[in-house]
């Protein structure tokens, strides 16, 4: 039996609120913020090197969105 949509939306909103509070907590501490930024940079470069990201530079001009 499927769960009611209201409960699902409520859980999603709670998760968003929790993630928002966590990000605010990290941003309030400069050391944690720099560490999080560094981890995100490493994640980006790793994904870029494995070609999991489609970068705009490889597309022809007509395929790029404005």
What are the tens digits of pLDDT across the range 20-55?
999 999 999 999 999 999 999 999 898 888 877 777
Name 64's Cβ contacts closer than 8 Å, sequence gap at least 6: 56
The confidence score (pLDDT) of residue 2 equals 65
Res 66 pLDDT > 80: no
CA distance 35 to 42: 11
């Amino acid at each position: 039996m499927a769960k009611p949509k209201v409960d699902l939306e409520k859980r999603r909103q709670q998760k968003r609120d929790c993630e928002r509070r966590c990000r605010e907590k990290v941003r309030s501490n400069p050391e944690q913020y720099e560490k999080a930024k560094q981890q995100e940079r490493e994640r980006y470069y790793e994904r870029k090197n494995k070609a999991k990201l489609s970068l705009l530079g490889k597309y022809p001009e007509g395929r790029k969105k404005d």
